[in-house]
Amino acid sequence: GILQHPDGTVLKQLQPPPRGPREQEFYNKVYDSDCCDSILLELREYLPKYFGVWSPPTAPNDTYLKLEDVTRKFNKPCIMDVKIGQKSYDPYASAEKIQQQVSKYPLMEEIGFLVLGMRVYHASSDSYETQNQHYGRRLTKETVKDGISKFFHSGYCLRKDVVAASIQKVEKILEWFEGQTQLNFYASSLLFVYEGSCQATTVRLSDVTLAEKRRVPKGLLADGDVLEYNNNIHVINSTENGKIEASVSKGLSKFYALHKKACSKRHHSQLSLKVENSEQDNVWKTSTCITQEHLNGNVLPQLEKVFYHMPAETKESANVEVRMIDFAHVFPSNTKDEGYIYGLKNLITVLQNILDN
């Protein structure tokens, strides 16, 4: 699973050979301080940042990849993991392994991607909906568009701003693949993350001024220290005796790493976190995805002045991240990665159809 280090990074335990060492070698190559390859330098933009490896003091033989927590800056992160490519097995896979992978999702070769899971925050109910890999395997060519569109729905409406921003980011990754012949990726994924609490604004009825209202919940530790709280990952806590206790993420772990089996069984503890929220009086809160039936008739004219007459350049684009993850099956190549390119193009087509319809 995925753990979180006190410094805010995440820890992905190294898989058994050859997968784990291969993934570590990939990160070392891309993030080599002496790297001057423009292809690899650009690739860094599409990966979580890599901070080397880490081992807990009590288990020095356990090795973890230390990676950026892509969800850290979000208040209510929505997460989706999509495996990309026509083959989810690498060129060295056994016949048994190939058959096993193909039987899991025969449609992979035809459409080039598979939804491994999603976790969506519904603003309407202030709750999360989670779907696992079985949800993705049930999707067909006819239902895949609707299946993926669930990820972009807030409970009030379809977040078209997020869909549009996601398309732009996937297109940038596609451009990179179109221009490189060094690496081929198998069983690798795209991690989609966006802010589930709609881009909130405050509208004062007296003068219709517009200001962003963002609330980041804080967790208060027992000793009074303030700790940022992430909705997906629990924080590992250094206890007095130096022993590291961790709580395995029930959210991000299913999306950040393809390996589903925990490599070790430990006692996990969860920090008790207290969330304090304050509301301003006489402030109407709304967002770009609230519909007319949710508005009081007296407020609507004021909102129209803001949203219909705001200069386009002042409208903030959606807060979205799309990163490539899972590199246990990356191999050197001298040709384009046609399988990955095929999957990206089909995924973009589906996202565009969601946006257009």
- The CATH code for residues 70-198+318-356 is 3.30.470.160
Distance CA 85, CA 73 (A): 29
pLDDT confidence tier of residue 64, bands split at 50, 70 and 90: very high
Fill in the amino acid letter for 225.
Answer: D
Mean pLDDT of the chain: 77
Q: Which of 4-18, 97-111, 196-210 has the lowest mean pLDDT?
A: 196-210
Residue 184 pLDDT level (bands cut at 50, 70, 90):
very high
Query: CA-CA-CA-CA torsion for 338, 340, 346, 351, nearest 10 degrees?
Result: -150
Structural tokens at position 255: 């999306």
24-38: pLDDT as tens digits = 999 999 999 999 999
The reported pLDDT for the residue numbered 1 is 75
Residues 6+ positions from 266 with CB-CB distance below 8 Å: 245, 246
Question: Omega before 18 cis (within 30°)?
Answer: yes
Q: Which residue has the tokens 């990754």?
A: 173
Percent of the chain scoring above 70 in pLDDT: 66
Residue with tokens 């996990």: 268
Per-residue confidence (pLDDT) for residue 300, from 0 to 100: 40
Residue 16 to residue 119: CA distance in whole angstroms: 28
The whole-number average pLDDT for the span 69-96 is 96
pLDDT bucket at 330, cuts 50 / 70 / 90: very high
Of 307 and 106, more confident: 106
Tokens 């039987």 correspond to what residue? Answer: 103
Q: Kindly list the domain boundaries of the chain, sorted by start residue.
A: 1-69, 70-198+318-356
Give the residue with greater pLDDT, 303 vs 342.
Answer: 342
Residue 265 predicted with pLDDT over 90 = no
* pTM: predicted TM-score of the whole model, two decimal places: 0.71
Question: What is the tens place of the pLDDT at every residue in 123-159?
Answer: 999 999 999 999 999 999 999 999 999 999 999 999 9
Asked if residue 46 has pLDDT above 60, the reply is yes
| Cβ proximity of 64 and 190 under 8 Å | no
* pLDDT, tens only, 222-251: 443 333 333 444 444 444 334 433 333 434
Q: Output 54 or 244, whichever has higher pLDDT.
A: 54
**Maximum Cα–Cα distance across the chain:** 71
Which are the contacts of 270, defined by CB distance < 8 A and separation ≥ 6? Answer: 234, 247
Q: Is pLDDT of 201 > 80?
A: no
